[in-house]
Amino acid sequence: MISSLKSGDCIDEVVAEYSDMVYRLAYSMTGSQNDAYDVVQDVLLKYIESGLTFNDEDHRKRWLLKVTSNQCRQMFRSHWSKTVEIAETDIISDSTQADDKRLDIRNAMQQLPDKYKTVLYLFYYEELPVGRIASLLEMSEGAVKTRLMRARGLMEKKLRGDYSDYGK
Amino acid sequence: MESELKRYYSAVQLTDEQKATLIAGAETAAHQSRTVAPRRQIFSVYRAAACLVLLIGTAGAIAASKGFEGNYGVQPDTASISLPSVTSPSGERTSFYYCDSHYDAIPDNTSSSAGEEILFELDGRTYFLSGRKSSGISFVFDSGEKYTLRQVMERGIISPEILASGGYLVCMVRDNKTGETSLLNSAAADLLRERGGNVRIENGKLIK
């Protein structure tokens, strides 16, 4: 638990607690390790400058997710993202590559369009309900459900039925 | 499958070094936001707006008087710039390389720890340098290889201390005549000074 709910306080604790969360969402949305790192920095600066005092930890977490989502959208709109292609390095460490199953997952995930990675991440990793994902991504709940269903279908297809119980 | 997905995303995380950089930058930003009084902030906005108007007006007047189009009143057909040679990630020696940048994102004035704008003058030509936080600049080598700033740093071409200093002094230089951009860092600027170039650097101020 972070000792203060005021932005600008306990920065190191906030970074320790939430930077990975922001990074994962940014990576899901941008598909780029370096863009994601830029987004984390931008979000953190916005957080500090916001001067907000949050009601509780959940409020802070939702705020960070929302701002991350917006920041990624802003990046998509930039001239830079439309014109520059960057060679990405592997994001997963060597130690995880030893696990074939995990490698399958990773390959399948990397082939998914970003919009599907994002909803999978928010639903399965952050365990957010569909309604909250819809709010974060400014979509209807129906659209989120459709996207989740398609993402699951694509994953299953890519993994050739190895995980046929996926999504059940 | 759900647990596999969780493992996948668990692997997507920042390194300790990246977190340390974030904390250092964030603490600086937090300190600044606490120490700048609201009235000062408002004043800064007006002052920035006034400076911008003055800068645009001055640049426009100079450009008009010189009879060409260009930022910061840069004169065409002056001395060429010779950048220090560097080694590209593939080991190729090159004396010049280009970088693209977030033209629509820099200068990022949201915080002094974000983008930094430097103007300097060399042999009668004014150059615009801007550093970006981490990876906003891509470096395109003569060989066609393209890397982000972070990737270039990881390969040891640019010292990490440059970023760790908080100044983000890895910069791009744009030749306003040709529109070409290239990499320049503070060490390169020093080198240019040593070579006798009329280099003067003042953060955020147009040098005349």
Asked if the C-beta of B125 comes within 8 angstroms of chain A's C-beta atoms, the answer is no
Provide the pLDDT for residue B10: 84
Q: How close does chain B come to A1, measured CA to CA in Å?
A: 18
Give the closest of A11, A51, A87 to B27, CB-based: A11
Asked if the C-beta of B148 comes within 8 angstroms of chain A's C-beta atoms, the answer is yes
Please state which of the ranges A37-41, B18-22, B164-168, B179-183 shows the lowest mean pLDDT: B164-168
Instruction: Give CA torsion, residues A86, A91, A95, A98, to 10 deg.
Output: -80
Contact, A152 vs A167, CB < 8 A?
A: yes
Q: How close does chain A come to B83, measured CA to CA in Å?
A: 24
- Identity at B33, one-letter amino acid code: S
- State both tokens at B26: 């964030």
Determine the length of chain B: 208
Provide the pLDDT for residue A142: 93
pLDDT digits (tens), chain A, 168 positions? 777 878 777 888 888 899 999 999 998 888 777 778 878 888 888 888 888 888 888 889 999 999 998 888 877 665 444 444 444 444 444 444 445 666 677 778 878 888 888 899 899 888 899 999 998 888 899 999 999 999 988 888 887 655 444 444
pLDDT value at B27 more than 50 = yes
Q: Is the peptide bond before B107 cis (omega within 30 degrees of 0)?
A: yes
d(CA B119, CA B122): 10
From chain B, pick out residues whose CB is under 8 angstroms from the CB of A40. 14, 22
pLDDT value at B195 more than 50 = no
Q: Give the CA distances from residue B185 to residues B52, B81, B104, B132, B162, in Å, rounded to whole numbers and listed in that order.
A: 25, 14, 21, 12, 9
From chain B, pick out residues whose CB is under 8 angstroms from the CB of A101. 4
- Interface probe for B, chosen from A2, A11, A33, A35 (most Cβ of B below 10 Å), is A11
Contact A34 B135 (CB under 8 A): yes
Provide the pLDDT for residue B74: 25
Provide the pLDDT for residue A150: 92
- pLDDT of B49-67, one tens digit each? 554 454 444 444 443 333 3
- pLDDT of B65-105, one tens digit each? 333 222 222 222 222 223 333 444 455 443 322 233 332 22
Q: In this complex, how many residue pairs, one in chain A and one in chain B, have their CB atoms less than 8 Å apart?
A: 140
Asked if the C-beta of A11 comes within 8 angstroms of chain B's C-beta atoms, the answer is yes
Instruction: For residue A51, report the phi and psi dihedrals to the nearest 5 degrees.
Output: 65, 20
From chain B, pick out residues whose CB is under 8 angstroms from the CB of A79. 102-104
From chain B, pick out residues whose CB is under 8 angstroms from the CB of A103. none
Contact B111 A49 (CB under 8 A): yes
Contact, B84 vs B191, CB < 8 A?
A: yes
What average pLDDT score do residues B24-44 get?
Answer: 54
From chain A, pick out residues whose CB is under 8 angstroms from the CB of B3. none
Provide the pLDDT for residue B142: 45
Three-state DSSP state, B29: helix
The A residues from 130 to 149 touching B (CB cutoff 8 Å) are none
- pLDDT of B141-154, one tens digit each? 445 555 554 555 45
Asked if the C-beta of A100 comes within 8 angstroms of chain B's C-beta atoms, the answer is no
- The residue that leads in pLDDT, A3 or B117, is A3
From chain B, pick out residues whose CB is under 8 angstroms from the CB of A80. 100-105, 136
Provide the pLDDT for residue B83: 33
Provide the pLDDT for residue B98: 29
Three-state DSSP state, A134: helix
* Predicted interface score ipTM higher than 0.95: no
Per DSSP, B22 falls in state H
- Identity at A46, one-letter amino acid code: K
Most confident option among B161-165, B178-182, B198-202: B178-182
d(CA A104, CA A101): 5
What average pLDDT score do residues B18-44 get?
Answer: 58
Contact A27 B11 (CB under 8 A): no
